[in-house]
């Protein structure tokens, strides 16, 4: 017998959770306080890799590797279903002048990933726009980026085609309905809504909602600002990354530069200071951007969490409530694996990876 599941949050984690659960035949209702995909899922860069994968725990690595292998299929599936191309674009990624190059290479050997040192002159031939100021380069050829605004648009369209999915946009959730020790629904702007299970996938806002249950979920907003240039289509053939800043090429010649890391609460106002800093980084990486057309500057809020390890699984003492949140800088990277794992746990299937590192049990506290 199919169950009814209610998802709070319409970012890529909420959308893919709905897609996975509905594909298994369940009835899914998804709620977002605005249009789906309008927050960090839209604002991010879309690199299908952690920026520095060797600096993360094995828990993040496990989800990243599964998702990286899955993304090409997901892009093809969504294009076939919706005629909207998420543009999963395999460009490779160059890391420039790393301080921890030896750690990166050791990680690659251990994880059997195709990361290698490459000759600077060869990189300069492959990426002519790159500044000539770098001395050492690591390269991974199979890294892709996804055009995240198109990904959420495709997911929204796919869900709209499914008769067992309803989407409630511009419908804020203010808290949870509890009956005994069980969560049975949510309070919304359109009234109380009930379900067999509730999934919280509200990104940076997840911690605020958990406080309504007296639970301290360590997920906090971390602001990130980015800028966008319009260049010719062949200007940048690969992702380049130096000093924590990156340039991401889109197929049509747009180049994203990101990103800042700011603790500013829920303020998403773009600032002149960040704009100047991002433009300086852009020109340091790709000098010709000094004369390129700047076409965008925006900010989003990442769901910061301890060590960037997401919370995926049931909430102890609150039967019926599940978490899929706290992915910090890697929401788009980890989303396919995170949502598959969530669905596996909720549907009592064999999980794709060991769920223990992501379990909320032992990682939550009572709100003060």
Which residue's entry shows tokens 């860069």?
Answer: 45
Give 260's pLDDT tier (boundaries 50, 70, 90).
very high
CATH 3.30.9.10 fits 126-141+221-304, yes or no: yes
Rounded to an integer, the average pLDDT of 90-98 is 97
> Could you give the angle at the alpha carbon of 69 between the alpha carbons of 20 and 307, nearest 5°?
80
pLDDT per residue over 163-185, tens digit each?
Answer: 999 999 999 999 999 999 999 99
How far lies 275's CA from each of 249, 263, 284, 288, in Å?
A: 19, 17, 14, 17
* DSSP-based three-state secondary structure for 333: helix
Q: pTM of the entire structure?
A: 0.96
Q: Are strands 197-200 and 4-8 parallel, antiparallel or unpaired?
A: parallel
- 195 contact partners, CB below 8 Å, separation of at least 6: 3, 4, 5, 6, 29, 184, 185, 320
DSSP state of 310: -
Q: Per-residue pLDDT for 333 more than 60?
A: yes
* DSSP-based three-state secondary structure for 24: coil
CA atoms within 13 A on the CB side of 227: 23
pLDDT per residue over 223-250, tens digit each?
Answer: 999 999 999 999 999 999 999 999 999 9
- Domain 4-46+150-217+306-366 is of which CATH architecture? 3-Layer(bba) Sandwich (3.50)
Give 367's pLDDT tier (boundaries 50, 70, 90).
low
The radius of gyration of the chain's CA atoms, rounded to the nearest angstrom, is 21
Q: Per-residue pLDDT for 26 more than 90?
A: yes
Cβ 164 vs Cβ 27: under 8 Å: yes
Q: Give the pair of three-digit tokens for residue 133.
A: 């100021």
Q: Give the pair of three-digit tokens for residue 213.
A: 């249950």
* DSSP-based three-state secondary structure for 193: strand
The number of beta carbons lying within 10 Å of the beta carbon of residue 358 is: 26
The DSSP annotation for 130-142 comes to S-TT---EEEETT
Domains of the chain, residue spans: 4-46+150-217+306-366, 126-141+221-304
């Amino acid at each position: 017998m199919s169950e009814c599941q209610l998802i709070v949050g319409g970012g890529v984690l909420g959308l893919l959770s709905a897609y996975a659960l509905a594909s298994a035949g369940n009835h899914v209702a998804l709620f977002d306080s605005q249009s789906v995909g309008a927050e960090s899922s839209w604002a991010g860069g879309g690199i299908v890799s952690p920026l520095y994968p060797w600096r993360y725990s094995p828990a993040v690595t496990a989800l990243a590797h599964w998702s990286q292998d899955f993304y090409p299929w997901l892009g093809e599936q969504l294009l076939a279903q919706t005629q909207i191309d998420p543009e999963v674009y395999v460009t490779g990624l160059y890391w420039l002048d790393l301080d921890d190059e030896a750690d990166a290479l050791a990680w690659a050997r251990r994880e059997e990933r195709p990361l290698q040192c490459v000759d600077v002159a060869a990189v300069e031939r492959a990426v002519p726009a790159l500044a000539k100021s770098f001395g050492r380069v690591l390269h991974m050829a199979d890294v892709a980026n996804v055009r995240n605004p198109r990904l959420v648009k495709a997911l929204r369209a796919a869900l709209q085609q499914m008769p067992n999915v309803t989407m409630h946009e511009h419908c804020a959730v203010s808290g949870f309905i509890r009956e005994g020790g069980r969560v049975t629904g949510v309070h919304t702007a359109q009234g109380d809504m009930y379900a067999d299970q509730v999934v919280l996938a509200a990104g940076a806002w997840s911690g605020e909602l958990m406080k309504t249950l007296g639970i301290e979920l360590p997920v906090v907003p971390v602001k990130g600002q980015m800028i966008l240039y319009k260049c010719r289509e062949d200007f940048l053939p690969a992702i380049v990354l130096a000093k924590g800043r990156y340039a991401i090429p889109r197929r049509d010649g747009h180049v994203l530069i990101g990103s800042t890391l700011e603790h500013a609460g829920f303020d998403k106002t773009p600032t002149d200071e960040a704009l100047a800093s991002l433009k300086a980084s852009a020109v340091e990486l790709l000098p010709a951007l000094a004369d390129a057309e700047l076409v965008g500057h925006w900010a989003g809020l990442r769901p910061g969490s301890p060590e960037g390890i997401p919370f995926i699984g049931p909430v102890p003492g609150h039967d019926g409530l599940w978490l899929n949140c706290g992915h910090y800088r890697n929401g788009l990277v980890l989303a396919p694996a995170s949502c598959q794992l969530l669905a596996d746990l909720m549907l009592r299937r064999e999980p794709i990876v060991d769920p223990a590192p992501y379990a909320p049990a032992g990682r939550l506290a009572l709100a003060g």
